[in-house]
């Protein structure tokens, strides 16, 4: 929509082809329908959230269409936003806030004169370097002077992002990186469905090369238990690393409820047992771990809920401290590509001019958004990258 808006605003005759029966289906469900539209702060900090190669590529586009300009565009269209303490920018809380964002982009695009065809699924492309000659829509063949591919990745296929364009571009001889799950829930080899909906907050998710192995990655943030594993910001952020480690043959997850070291928390347990002799183990553990989980963990450790902290043997106390500084979640299962908020992979950045989004070696092909091999962290970064690259792709001279 952003690419179509900019191209139409430049005086070009533009047709946007949408495979679904309405625009912005994936945008409508983003953030649980709340739509984290961008991330606030200086562009240097926003770019710093991406891998270095990706940040270098995105820099020109993000300076052409900034996070502030996204917010201002929405404001002009009647969509007020607010910024959370963590820098994430959302529309003001109200029913259908994500739909209001889609409507804003639809509005500016329509005023610019772009034509929209919904229910128009492209089934193939024709041409070879240096030109794409046509798109195929079933039996229909559609020619154009210039083509912009903004088809998204391969996650949430029910929203229309099936990822087939990757194969078409590879058929044109372009360098592609296969789709890989990113920002996805993480299944656990031994899930805890009884904890579904329970959140662990204000801690840090840890990924290790096997139980007791070296630390591979970490992310400070909340997680939420699901029937099959874990979700929430921390799980989404480490999903790609967890899948990499799983495929490498050694992956283990744990959650640190307290940032202090094991010895520091153990020392606190000893002091608390002495100063509060009647404090139960359950009450002490509940400082960090929700009651439903704490009760289960105590039973698994063969401890009664009413047992006093001061009566714990040293080994049992240290097991409890371990549960606080690194509650074991176990080995991750295969992370599903289909459930990722974004998909890693796509057209390699070396094949694209970052100042125009033109595909190198082609006179009339541009690519933007998630189809590029760009995958930032959770927090509005990926939508900003999509908006910015779409803006540049639509700036067509002549």
Within 105-228, strands assigned E span 115-118, 124-128, 131-137, 140-142, 147-149, 176-182, 186-187, 199-200, 204-208, 215-220, 223-225
CA separation for the pair 341, 383 (Å, rounded) = 11
CA separation for the pair 268, 338 (Å, rounded) = 44
Report the range out of 19-33, 153-167, 272-286, 293-307 with the highest average pLDDT: 272-286
Q: What is the pLDDT of residue 95?
A: 72
Q: Mind listing the pLDDT tens digit for each residue in 316-326?
A: 999 899 989 99
Q: What is the pLDDT of residue 397?
A: 85
Per-residue CA distances from 186 to 170, 235, 238, 287, 289 (Å): 29, 6, 9, 26, 20
Q: What is the pLDDT of residue 161?
A: 64
Q: Mind listing the pLDDT tens digit for each residue in 96-129?
A: 789 999 999 999 999 999 999 999 999 999 999 9
pTM of the model: 0.80
Q: What is the pLDDT of residue 300?
A: 84
pLDDT > 60? residue 197: yes
pLDDT > 80? residue 340: no
Instruction: Characterize the bridge pairing of strands 365-367 and 147-149.
Output: parallel
CA angle 286, 288, 290 (to 5 degrees): 55
Q: Mind listing the pLDDT tens digit for each residue in 84-98?
A: 999 999 999 777 789
Burial, 205: exposed, middle or buried (Cβ in 10 Å; 0-12, 13-18, 19+)? buried
At 181, the pLDDT band (50, 70, 90 cuts) reads confident
Domains in the chain, ordered, with CATH?
A: 2-182+339-393 (3.50.50.60), 185-335 (no CATH)
Q: How many CA atoms lie within 13 A of 178 on its CB side?
A: 1
Instruction: Report the percentage of the chain scoring pLDDT > 70.
Output: 96
Q: Mind listing the pLDDT tens digit for each residue in 251-286?
A: 999 999 999 999 999 999 999 999 999 999 999 999
Q: What is the pLDDT of residue 182?
A: 79
Q: Mind listing the pLDDT tens digit for each residue in 282-318?
A: 999 999 999 989 999 888 888 887 899 999 999 999 9
Are the C-beta atoms of residues 198 and 290 closer than 8 Å to each other?
yes
Q: What is the pLDDT of residue 46?
A: 97
Q: What is the mean pLDDT of residues 192-197?
A: 95
Q: What is the mean pLDDT of residues 17-21?
A: 94
Across the chain, what does the average pLDDT equal?
Answer: 92
pLDDT > 80? residue 157: no
- Running DSSP on this structure, what letter comes out for residue 232? S
Q: What is the pLDDT of residue 158?
A: 60
Per-residue CA distances from 300 to 187, 258, 316 (Å): 21, 21, 11
Q: What is the pLDDT of residue 303?
A: 84
């Amino acid at each position: 929509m952003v690419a179509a808006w900019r191209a139409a605003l430049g005086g070009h005759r533009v047709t946007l082809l949408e495979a679904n029966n309405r625009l912005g289906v994936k945008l409508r469900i983003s953030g649980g329908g709340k739509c984290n539209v961008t991330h606030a702060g200086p562009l240097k900090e926003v770019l710093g959230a991406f891998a270095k190669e990706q940040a270098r590529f995105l820099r020109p586009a993000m300076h052409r269409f900034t996070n502030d300009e996204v917010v201002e565009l929405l404001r002009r269209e009647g969509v007020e936003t607010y910024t959370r303490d963590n820098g994430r920018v959302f529309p003001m809380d109200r029913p259908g806030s994500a739909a209001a964002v889609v409507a804003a982009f639809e509005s500016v695009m329509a005023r610019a004169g772009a034509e929209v065809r919904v229910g128009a699924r492209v089934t193939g492309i024709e041409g070879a370097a240096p030109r794409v000659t046509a798109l195929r829509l079933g039996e229909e063949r559609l020619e154009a002077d210039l083509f912009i591919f903004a088809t998204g990745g391969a996650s949430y296929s029910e929203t229309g992002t099936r990822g087939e364009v990757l194969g078409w571009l590879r058929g044109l001889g372009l360098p592609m990186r296969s789709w890989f799950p990113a920002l996805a829930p993480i299944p656990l080899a031994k899930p805890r469905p009884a904890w579904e909906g329970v959140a662990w907050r204000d801690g840090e998710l840890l990924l290790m090369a096997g139980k007791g192995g070296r630390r591979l990655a970490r992310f400070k943030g909340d997680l939420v238990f699901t029937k099959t594993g874990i979700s929430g910001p921390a799980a989404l952020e480490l999903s790609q690393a967890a899948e990499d480690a799983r495929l490498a043959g050694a992956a283990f997850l744990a959650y640190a409820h307290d940032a202090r070291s094991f010895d520091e928390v153990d020392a606190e347990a000893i002091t608390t047992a002495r100063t509060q002799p009647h404090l139960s183990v359950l009450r002490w553990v509940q400082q960090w771990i929700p009651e439903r989980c704490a009760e289960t963990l105590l039973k698994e450790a063969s401890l009664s809920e009413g047992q006093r902290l001061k009566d714990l043997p040293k080994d049992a106390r240290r097991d409890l401290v371990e549960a606080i500084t690194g509650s074991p979640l176990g080995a991750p299962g295969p992370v599903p590509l289909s459930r990722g908020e974004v998909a890693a992979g796509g057209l390699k950045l070396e094949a694209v001019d970052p100042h125009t989004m033109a595909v190198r070696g082609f006179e009339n092909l541009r690519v933007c958004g998630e189809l590029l091999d760009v995958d930032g962290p959770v927090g509005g970064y990926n939508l900003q990258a999509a908006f910015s690259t779409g803006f540049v792709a639509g700036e067509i001279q002549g």
